[in-house]
Amino acid sequence: MIAFIVRRLVTSFFVLLAATMVIFGLTSIAGDPLADLRELPGADGERRMADRIERMHLDDPVWLRYLNWLTGLFRGYLGVNRDGQDVGVMLGDALSATLQLVLAATVLAVVIGVCVGIISALRQYSSFDYGVTLAAFVCFSLPLFWVAVMLKQYIAISFNDWLRDPAIPPTVIVVLALIAGLIWAAIAIGDRKVKLIAFGAGAAITAVILTLLSVTGWFADPGIGLIGLAILAGGTAVGLSMLISGLQYRGPLYAALAAAGLGVLLSEILTPVLADPSWAEIFGLALATVIICIALGYGLGGLLRQQAITGAVLTGLITGGLIFVDRLLQSFASYSDMVRGRPISTIGAGTPNFKGDFWQTNLDSAGHLLLPSMALVLISLATYTRYSRSSMLEVMNLDYVRTARAKGLPERTVITKHAFRNGMIPITTLMAVDFASVIGGAVVTENVFGWQGMGTLFTTGLQQVDPAPVMAFFIVSGTAIVVFNMLADIVYAYLDPRIRLS
């Protein structure tokens, strides 16, 4: 394995080196680096051209400029752009902006996409499956800039207007309830009666919840509240136990429930800490949660100790996440006031000069990240849904799954233990490639939502025929692709013993 990694690294290095040569050469001959100065009249233009020629070494042949850049690179120096700004600094800013923008969206797309894909595989040829297929293809074919304009108009501008008097009109409630009912009916398995019940229950519950939210003005001053938290955390505990170990085993269930209960309890006890924490404290709390939950699982798990630990830790973390969201939502009203009642933003990475406590600052970031993330998730959701669906279907039809069923294993065990893990192997490749391209930024999204990320660095550099920023972009994104592909191979080997052993 180590020999394999080393071999890969060495070849990748030379591939990258050759690629830098090509990219540098192509960028250098992509146009006239002095184009914008040529229209300046008289001596002024000439002097500024001379300045730029000196700064960019335009008198040297391209290969010499390349070697210059390369020796700089090995000393860790990325050079300056045509205006003399340090490219290293620019790269740092661009990379952090891009990571903020795209990382959350990609993680969300993976989680949601894989979940939806698996459910639609398990309900193959159901109306849910058809619905998801249709939605995935529609989203996939939407042009991003158009989606962005629509999101800005409806999710930001109209939503902010509506927040002044957040009452949901009855017709909207009815329509949403019907849609929710249809989704539930589509997911439910059974005869017509079961489906009807699922439809009725789904629609009714949705209608009641929406009416309650509307009447209480929840959207203007939201929050989950302790009861909501308890219900959601308990539900998570039960649901996870059902998936991981099955409800007939009490140990894991109790461990998960205890984790949920403890979390809800601590959400009140820890109020002094949670009033205005720092990220370090939040990570500390997450770590403490993991340790406590491992202990809970160990103590309460009984025979199924391993599953109990997994279930408890996941429940604990999700409960923690719910508490985090609850706190964020509680700060929503005060944040909204601070930004003149317009919490969802259409542009930029943050309100300029925004000062608030931990929650308000994070709400500000969230308010600015919401639209670009939605746009990115909508469009990349399709790939994950389709891949995980087809891979899951393929696995479900394999002999060993049939054997597992024939042994008499419950369907839950067959899916989660035998099919799921193997079904996910192809997805790892997809994820690796996706994460690598994430580092390269999202040019259109960055442009439409006013983020100065990697994509902007690259396109501006290219337009100005300025190799230094383009090369900085390329070094980072190219290395990311090489590294992530290698990671994918390693993970592959870990997940699939056939590769490791052959």
Which region, left, alpha or beta, applies to residue 199 given φ > 0 means left and ψ of -120 to 50 means alpha?
A: alpha
Task: Supply the minimum distance, in Å, between the C-beta of residue 412 and other proteins.
Answer: 22
156 binds other proteins (CB under 8 A): yes
Task: Supply the minimum distance, in Å, between the C-beta of residue 456 and other proteins.
Answer: 8
473 binds other proteins (CB under 8 A): no
Which positions from 5 to 44 touch other proteins by CB under 8 A, shown as an x/- string? ------------------------------x--xx-xx-x
93 binds other proteins (CB under 8 A): yes
452 binds other proteins (CB under 8 A): yes
* Interacting residue with other proteins among 25, 166, 239, 299 (CB under 8 A): 299
Name the segment binding other proteins (CB under 8 A); options: 47-55, 166-174, 380-388, 399-407.
Answer: 47-55
> Closest CB to other proteins among 92 and 235?
92
Task: Supply the minimum distance, in Å, between the C-beta of residue 83 and other proteins.
Answer: 7
Q: Distance of CA 494 to CAs 60, 111, 216, 362, 502, Å?
A: 50, 21, 51, 37, 12
342 binds other proteins (CB under 8 A): yes
* Interacting residue with other proteins among 53, 176, 333, 425 (CB under 8 A): 333
Name the segment binding other proteins (CB under 8 A); options: 82-90, 381-389, 405-413, 488-496.
Answer: 82-90
Task: Supply the minimum distance, in Å, between the C-beta of residue 270 and other proteins.
Answer: 13
Name the segment binding other proteins (CB under 8 A); options: 22-30, 172-180, 247-255, 376-384.
Answer: 247-255
* Interacting residue with other proteins among 149, 167, 247, 288 (CB under 8 A): 149
54 binds other proteins (CB under 8 A): no
97 binds other proteins (CB under 8 A): yes
CB atoms near residue 306 (< 10 Å)? 14
In the region spanning residues 199 to 218, those forming contacts with other proteins, defined by CB under 8 A, are 218
* Interacting residue with other proteins among 258, 274, 285, 381 (CB under 8 A): 258
Q: What's the rounded Cα separation, in Å, for the pair 57 and 45?
A: 18
Q: What's the rounded Cα separation, in Å, for the pair 241 and 451?
A: 42
**Is the distance from CB of 471 to CB of 78 less than 8 angstroms?**
yes
**Is the distance from CB of 187 to CB of 300 less than 8 angstroms?**
no
Task: Supply the minimum distance, in Å, between the C-beta of residue 458 and other proteins.
Answer: 14
The sign of the torsion formed by the CA atoms of 467, 472, 473, 476 equals positive
In the region spanning residues 264 to 283, those forming contacts with other proteins, defined by CB under 8 A, are 264-265, 268
The pair of three-digit structure tokens given for residue 18, joined into one six-digit string: 């050759």
Q: What's the rounded Cα separation, in Å, for the pair 145 and 448?
A: 7
Q: What is the DSSP string of 200-253?
A: HHHHHHHHHHHHHHHHTTTTTS---HHHHHHHHHHHHHHHHHHHHT-TT-HHHH
Exposure b/e, 446-479, CB count within 10 A at least 16 = b: bbbbebbbbbbbbbbbbebbbbbbbbbbbbbbbe
165 binds other proteins (CB under 8 A): no
Name the segment binding other proteins (CB under 8 A); options: 23-31, 151-159, 280-288, 392-400.
Answer: 151-159
Which residue has 């297929």 as its token pair?
Answer: 133
CA 240 to chain CA mean position, Å: 22
# binding residues, other proteins (CB under 8 A): 77
Name the segment binding other proteins (CB under 8 A); options: 68-76, 105-113, 422-430, 449-457.
Answer: 449-457
Helix, strand, coil distribution of the chain in percent, nearest 5: 80, 0, 20
Name the segment binding other proteins (CB under 8 A); options: 5-13, 296-304, 391-399, 419-427.
Answer: 296-304
DSSP 381: H
447 binds other proteins (CB under 8 A): yes
* Interacting residue with other proteins among 76, 353, 501, 502 (CB under 8 A): 353
Task: Supply the minimum distance, in Å, between the C-beta of residue 461 and other proteins.
Answer: 14
Task: Supply the minimum distance, in Å, between the C-beta of residue 262 and other proteins.
Answer: 6
Name the segment binding other proteins (CB under 8 A); options: 92-100, 132-140, 311-319, 417-425.
Answer: 92-100
* Interacting residue with other proteins among 95, 300, 304, 404 (CB under 8 A): 300
CB atoms near residue 229 (< 10 Å)? 21
Three-state SS annotation for 355-366: CCCHHHHHHHHH
The pair of three-digit structure tokens given for residue 268, joined into one six-digit string: 């009140």
Q: Distance of CA 382 to CAs 120, 140, 253, Å?
A: 12, 6, 34
Name the segment binding other proteins (CB under 8 A); options: 60-68, 136-144, 227-235, 491-499.
Answer: 227-235
Q: What's the rounded Cα separation, in Å, for the pair 341 and 373?
A: 22
CA 338 to chain CA mean position, Å: 28
Rg (CA), the chain: 27
Task: Supply the minimum distance, in Å, between the C-beta of residue 374 and other proteins.
Answer: 15
In the region spanning residues 378 to 437, those forming contacts with other proteins, defined by CB under 8 A, are none
